[in-house]
Structure formats: C-alpha cells, structure tokens
Amino acid sequence: MAVRTKAERPKRQVLLPIVKNGRIGFFGSEGEELPSQFTGLNGSFRIFQTVTLRSLREGFAPVKVGEQWGYIDEHGKLAIEPEFEQAGAFTEGLAPVLVKGKWGYINTAGSVVIVPEFEGVGPFSEGLAAAREEQKWGFIDKHGAFSIRPQFDDVAGSRWIAPVHPERVHGHFSEGLCGVRVGEKWGYVDKEGKFKINPKFERAASFFEGVGAVRVGDRWGFIDKNDDFAVNPQFEDAGGYGDGLAPVKSGGKWGYIDKGGTYVAYPQFDDADSFFGGMAAVKFEGRWGFIGTDGKYVITPKYDEVGNFETGTALVRTHEGWGYIDKEGDYLWSPTQ
C-alpha cells in the first residue's frame, strides 16, 4: 500500500471504499484504513458498480452485511442496521430501500418515512422522485404522495453526467425538467407534470448545462429548453454536458464537442464519459485514461477500468486490483484485490 504522508496529501473529507482480502473496507480522509467488515453485492465484489456508485453521500453509504443492506456513517461505523433487500444512496435526506419486494424510503435516522409500496423508484431530485405503480411511472413528493400521477411508460435517466449509474436512475429531474415516454415517443415534463416539450423523440436524456440529448430517428443531437436544436442530430450516440463539453459518437468512435457543436477532441476514443471537475475518462486501444477540457491527455490510458473525479479522486483498476488516483495520476491507494 502506497499512501502519501500527511504533509503531501490534500485534505479530503471523503470516505473511499476499498477491497482487501476479498472484503470491503474504507480508506479514511486522513489516510487511515477503517475495519474491513462488509461483503460485496450478491456475494461478489465489483467496486465500480457497487461500492463506488453507492458511496458516501450526505454522511451515509449503503453496505451489505450478509444478505441484507444497511448504512455506515462517515466514520465507517454501522449507523442503520442491515434489514433491507436493497438500498440506494441518500439524496435530499432520503434513501430508497427494498422491503418484501416493494420500494419505499428511509430518513437518515433509519426510520421508514415513505411506506414501501412501489414497484420501482428513483432517487429524489429537485424535491421529487419517480415511482412506478401498476406499470406506470409518476412522481412522488417527500410525503410519498403523487405530485404527478402515474401515467408514463418510462422516465429518463441521467445519461452519464449524474453521480449515479444511468441504468439505476429513473425520473432524474434536472434543471426543472425530466424526460418521459408516452407510447413510443419521448418528451419533457416540468415538476407540475405538464409537457414543456411534447413527446416526439425516439429517446430523451436529462438536461445539463441548459441542453438535453435527444434522438431523432437514429441520430442524437441536443435541444435547449425552448425545444430548439442547439446541436442538430448527427451523432450515433451522445452523453451529457459537463464543463461545457459533451461526449458524442461518430464513425464508431467517441469525441467531444462544445456547446456550438464544434469538436474539441475529434472522434478517436473507443468509449468516453462526461466531464467531472475538468477531466473526463476515455478509452483508447483497450485502456482507460483521462483528458482535460482542451482534449489532451492528462493521464495516459493504462487502466482496465476507471471511475470519475466527482470527489476529486478517481477509482481505477489494473491487473493488480482496484485503487485510487488523484488528478496527477498518483496513487492515494495502490491497487489491491
């Protein structure tokens, strides 16, 4: 384990999940290793999809103990007893939990505040959370009452820029709008449930930095909140804007465009993520690295898999296991199995 001295380490008020000897532990902000007492998801451990994406938020992190999920606090202590079949991260003071096959929400004291009765839910965002009832999606408030009645066939996820995995996010309100599907077409509703942009797209993703990615036919572009195209549909795929740039796919490769649709980095990458904190993860010739907003490499591709710099540190995987790096590419925690 290679850890910087206190004089060399930047101050970080974060708790980083680690794996050691097949068990999950935590690496504290002062460099101390906290006890490894938790098992991974479904009996296995894949930190990029489980622990990191369920990492410390609002002072708590979901952990699995045996076959049940609970929460630890920012000191790595068990704060909410493991009694849930599944558990999501806290957002806006509430976390989704699965009890007897139904979803509800708990508060930071571990008390159930919204009774588990929904087929599916999303995290709270801008005061609302998506909830599914009888195969239709609507949006509930923090009392569990439907503010927008269930009527949609699907609701849009974050599409990469949000700090949670898009496949696990439903109904992500961002900048006052959320993408929803009615029948086969997607549009956008406001927090009163009124269509601000009528359903007419093949797909619709969340708004970030004033624009949202939409698909027309088989091509992706970006619209503004007036339903005007900011960047015409021309890409095979697209992600969300961050730091004024968005990943787009053309000719089977990924690059980055600015708000005017001009390439900052021409399509050359096998895969690409949204920008976080001035850096974006890119995959080139089978390895992941990071570029800056000028499109140039800051950390050359050499990792098998990476996270992002949402917390100022990034998770990386090599043949030796998982570790953490800073924005210079130096290890804060060397890879361990």
Sequence-separated (6 or more) residues with CB below 8 Å from residue 58: 90, 91, 93, 108
Residues 220 and 249 in one domain: no
Residues 156 and 190 in one domain: yes
Q: What is the CATH number of the domain that holds 130?
A: 2.40.128.630
Residues 235 and 246 in one domain: no
DSSP state of 43: G
Rg (C-alpha) for the chain, rounded Å, is 20
In a domain, 21, yes or no: no
Q: Is 111 strand, coil or helix?
A: coil
In a domain, 177, yes or no: yes
pLDDT at 250: 98
CA–chain centroid gap for 88, Å, is 12
In a domain, 163, yes or no: yes
Q: Domain end: 216, 239, 262, which one?
A: 239
Rounded CA separation 42/18 (Å): 17
Residues 267 and 162 in one domain: no
> Among residues 35, 196, 171, which one has the least CA distance to residue 96?
171
Asked whether 66 and 82 are in contact (CB, 8 A), the reply is yes
* Per-residue model confidence as pLDDT tens for the chain (337 residues): 333 333 343 443 456 666 666 555 666 545 555 555 554 433 333 333 334 334 567 888 887 777 888 888 776 678 899 899 999 888 899 999 999 999 999 999 999 999 999 999 988 999 999 999 999 999 999 999 999 999 999 998 765 544 444 344 567 899 999 999 999 999 999 999 999 999 999 999 999 999 999 999 999 999 999 999 999 999 999 999 999 999 999 999 999 999 999 999 999 999 999 998 899 999 999 999 999 999 999 999 999 988 888 777 888 889 887 788 889 999 887 876 5
Residues 208 and 278 in one domain: no
Residues 145 and 169 in one domain: yes
Residues 210 and 129 in one domain: yes
Total structural domains within the chain: 2
Residues 220 and 272 in one domain: no
In a domain, 42, yes or no: no
Residues 233 and 129 in one domain: yes
Residues 170 and 253 in one domain: no
In a domain, 192, yes or no: yes
Residues 211 and 259 in one domain: no
Q: Domain end: 197, 215, 239, which one?
A: 239
Residue 205, domain extent: 119-239
Q: Domain end: 191, 213, 239, which one?
A: 239
pLDDT at 10: 41
pLDDT at 20: 62
From residue 258, alpha-carbon distances to 15, 84, 227, 239 in Å are 33, 43, 19, 12
Residue with tokens 């804060």: 332
In a domain, 337, yes or no: no
In a domain, 140, yes or no: yes
Residues 251 and 267 in one domain: yes
In a domain, 85, yes or no: no
pLDDT at 19: 61
